[in-house]
Structure 1
Amino acid sequence: MKILVMNAGSSSQKSCLYEIGDLLPTQPPNPLWEAKIDWTHQPNVAELSVTTEGGKVKAELPASPRAQVINRLLGTLWTGATQVIANPQEVQVVGHRVVHGGKDYHTSIRITSEVKATIDRLSTLAPVHNPANLEGIEAIEQILGDVPQVAVFDTAFHAQMPDAAAIYPGSYDWIKKGIRRYGFHGTSHRYCAQRTADLMARDLSELKLITCHLGNGCSLAAIQNGRSIDTTMGFTPLDGLMMGTRSGSVDPSILIYLMRQEGYTADRLDQLLNKESGLLGISGVSNDMRAVMQAIESGNDDPSGEQRSYRARLALDIYLHRLRREIGGMLMSLGGLDALVFTGGVGENSALVRSAACEPLTWLGVKLDPAQTVSSEDALISAPDSAIPVWVIHTQEDWTIARDCWELLQA
């Protein structure tokens, strides 16, 4: 079965093609074809990159309309140097990452007109992402006709959280309005939890896990008996941890103050909290953890006279403080811990962040291997005598989407 995965974001489109036989492989296979469109680097330009075993292609395209850019991306599947199939009809199912499924969807589902309408309605809760996800679905309809399509929701893994964790302590009327903690990165948390259980040769339903998805967006999940019982992101992906450009949790009165005293509008607050805060807002350097650490190491002031290295160090310190605090919160929700898991760009690659996050857990007997090294393979990074194992898992969201497609079509 040839499965196309479409992972659309607000400013990028990642895609890949898997081929799966009659049995699911125990390990995620390499995709036959991988492609990415990036709209962020150049104004009015969409940068296309495609990789297969047989070749690579890079191109710059007019940034819009989006459907035409996606059409060009998909054409590289069956034409040119990156061709891996003879024609579009070889694609048997398409899986889409959809950010917000609200309270409507607890599992992945075959896309119908009713599902599309619900995704559209939920765009009010995810105005940046759900419309882009819907555009991808409609582009596939235009290009591949009535090929089966499957929606895999970021929120689904958290949909059965206890009410005490999911409901905000505001007006009870909020519940009727759908205002609650939904949580995100669910596909990543779900994959990492199952992969950790497999590596530990344990049944996931027996384990208590904390999974730390740390990238430009960051979230934690407390997973018990294979289910998310608590998470740091909330009604939107803005809640919880400090992130690349997002503030994470702040006192709501700050926003009221800025509206009353500074004349901030809702749009200005949205821009500030989602695009100008986090690592970027505090450091003034970058939303990328690597650049922040380089600024700390340089120790130089920038031309304006501000203390570049001080601001970068402050950004890192706040990031680590909030990470440790939220890990503590997840630990209390679980009432125990069988493994701590790191994933995402920062979680997989920054030994400093992992070590700093685990340092306060020494009272629980957590010890990291001083010689911890992480390659492309998933790795146990705790010491042999650590009371709780610590893992680095390379998240495989695209493979999880492909697997859900395979299972739905088999069923």
Structure 2
Amino acid sequence: MNKTLTLVINCGSSSLKFALMPNESGEDPVLSGLAERLGDSDASITYKSSEGKKEESLNGGDHATALEALINHIDQKGLLASVTAVGHRVVHGGEEFHKSVLIDDKVIAAIERCSPLAPLHNPPNLLGIRVAREKLPALPQVAVFDTAFHQTMEPQAYLYALPMEYYREYGVRRYGFHGTSHRFVSDETRRMLALDPKDHGIVIAHLGNGASATAVKNGESVDTTMGLTPLEGLVMGTRSGDVDPGALVYLANRANMSINDLDNMLNRKSGLLGLSELSNDCRTLEEEAAKGHPGAKIALDVFAHRLARLIGGLAMSLDRLDAVTFTGGIGENSSLLRKMTIERLKPFGIVLDDAANEKCVRGTSGVISGATGPKALVVATNEELMIARDTLAIANASR
């Protein structure tokens, strides 16, 4: 095989998602898949390629076992010699990282310093980096940060109205997430609409089990809905999004809830699940709402109302609104929630094209609005491709 390849790794607390991306722009992964339940007796790894899907047991193995299995699989396919670099998704770069970087010991130490800001995410990200460097020591490795795209926000957008000592001492501020997706989708939106790179305004809604929206002005993030953590902002699958902090004090006192109880409630028992008392899966809720389930209906209504309200707020950070773009699992597939949201954006003059909206599902991108007013679009995100692009560019520059 003559193609050169970039290995993309996204390491979670008990999982390892991967993609082997051709270095020729725009091509689909040669190999992708997921190792899951790592450390448990039923740990397994699934490979997907043009030959189909294949699952293997990891016999209770950990991240190192999974990565070794992946490397062996790539080698057996005769592809290992074609891999030129490894790109790693890292959730939180704090104020340390404004862009993707070549990994060395200093970068690892800086990512460790950011770990208190993302204690559930950065440690497994670091584990994946360490194992990959051990298994593939000859290859350049690059860190791509979820937070980096939002480092262009100005203080009025990222500061909380808390005593400044907490920002100075502990870094308490708004960082934003999903940055790799927002960056990819903003580029695609600009390309699809032939917008002036130096003069445009877009609001992107990345909607899935985790959800965030971002205002992009002339290619840069100027405001976003997620904050210090991925909990702030929109209604999500099991996360609450914005809540009056006073309500939490009230619950702590009246319901005798501890900090851990509140954290668990806000992150795991709220959002679509908490509102519907049924499911965090948008597909299930749409099916049940159509049957008249009141919880499913109110969950979808609150989701769309909050989304429209925050899109409207984000638009005020722009000089003008050229487009609203939907992406992510829900944004790319729920024509119903797109319709519900756009109907609530009437003050902006966006007019939905129902037929186009229904066609944009299962990875189909396109404009879903009429000829007048700001455009509404669906863009299928591709974080792996963006990570691969960054990795290839930085690796090539380092050689």
TM-score range, shorter chain: over 0.9
Q: 2:75 aligns with which of 55, 78, 84?
A: 78
The aligned residue for residue 65 of structure 1 is: 62
State how far apart, in whole Å, the 2-side matches of 1:270 and 1:113 are: 33
The aligned residue for residue 302 of structure 1 is: none
Tell me which stretches of 4 or more aligned residues in structure 1 moved more than 6 Å. none
Q: How does 1:164-203 map to 2 (within 5 A)?
A: 164-176=156-168, 177-203=170-196
Shift of 1:269: 1.8
State how far apart, in whole Å, the 2-side matches of 1:284 and 1:61 are: 36
Shift of 1:225: 1.3
Q: How does 1:3-402 map to 2 (within 5 A)?
A: 3-21=6-24, 25=25, 28-39=26-37, 44-79=41-76, 83-85=77-79, 88-176=80-168, 177-299=170-292, 309-372=293-356, 373-375=359-361, 376-383=363-370, 385-402=371-388
* Residue pair 1:245, 1:277 contacting (<8 A) in 2 also: yes
Secondary structure, counterpart of 2:198 in structure 1: helix
Cα deviation 1:308-360 (Å, max 9, x = unaligned): x1111111111111111101111112142011100000000011111111112
Output the aligned Cα RMSD: 1.8
* Residue pair 1:378, 1:393 contacting (<8 A) in 2 also: yes
Secondary structure, counterpart of 1:92 in structure 2: strand
* Residue pair 1:246, 1:277 contacting (<8 A) in 2 also: yes
Shift of 1:396: 0.7
Q: TM-score, normalised by structure 1?
A: 0.91
Cα deviation 1:193-231 (Å, max 9, x = unaligned): 001111122233211000000011000000001110000
Secondary structure, counterpart of 2:353 in structure 1: coil
State how far apart, in whole Å, the 2-side matches of 1:113 and 1:364 are: 49
Shift of 1:258: 2.7
Distance change (3 Å), C-alpha of 1:280 and 1:140: same
State how far apart, in whole Å, the 2-side matches of 1:316 and 1:178 are: 34
Distance change (3 Å), C-alpha of 1:280 and 1:401: same
Equivalent pairs: percent with the same residue?
Answer: 42
Secondary structure, counterpart of 2:320 in structure 1: coil
AA of the residue aligned to 2:392? W
Secondary structure, counterpart of 2:249 in structure 1: helix
Q: Greater shift after overlay, 268-277 or 358-367?
A: 358-367
State how far apart, in whole Å, the 2-side matches of 1:257 and 1:364 are: 37
Shift of 1:160: 1.7
* Residue pair 1:193, 1:204 contacting (<8 A) in 2 also: no
Secondary structure, counterpart of 2:120 in structure 1: coil
Q: TM-score, normalised by structure 2?
A: 0.93
Secondary structure, counterpart of 1:159 in structure 2: helix
Cα deviation 1:270-314 (Å, max 9, x = unaligned): 211111111111212211100111222233xxxxxxxxx111111
Distance change (3 Å), C-alpha of 1:11 and 1:220: farther
State how far apart, in whole Å, the 2-side matches of 1:205 and 1:138 are: 39
Distance change (3 Å), C-alpha of 1:8 and 1:259: same
AA of the residue aligned to 1:378? S
Distance change (3 Å), C-alpha of 1:312 and 1:248: same
Secondary structure, counterpart of 1:15 in structure 2: strand
State how far apart, in whole Å, the 2-side matches of 1:84 and 1:10 are: 30
Shift of 1:131: 0.8
AA of the residue aligned to 1:365? G
* Residue pair 1:368, 1:386 contacting (<8 A) in 2 also: no
- The runs of 5 or more residues in structure 1 that have no matched partner are 300-308
Secondary structure, counterpart of 1:222 in structure 2: strand
State how far apart, in whole Å, the 1-side matches of 2:108 and 2:263 are: 26
Distance change (3 Å), C-alpha of 1:290 and 1:84: farther
AA of the residue aligned to 2:304? L
Number of residue pairs matched by the alignment: 390
State how far apart, in whole Å, the 1-side matches of 2:60 and 2:322 are: 47
State how far apart, in whole Å, the 1-side matches of 2:300 and 2:27 are: 36
* Residue pair 1:379, 1:391 contacting (<8 A) in 2 also: yes
Secondary structure, counterpart of 1:244 in structure 2: coil
State how far apart, in whole Å, the 2-side matches of 1:314 and 1:364 are: 25
Secondary structure, counterpart of 2:19 in structure 1: strand
The aligned residue for residue 405 of structure 1 is: 391
Cα deviation 1:83-124 (Å, max 9, x = unaligned): 251xx4432210011000000100000011111111122111
Secondary structure, counterpart of 2:345 in structure 1: helix
Distance change (3 Å), C-alpha of 1:43 and 1:292: farther
State how far apart, in whole Å, the 2-side matches of 1:181 and 1:403 are: 27
State how far apart, in whole Å, the 2-side matches of 1:392 and 1:219 are: 15
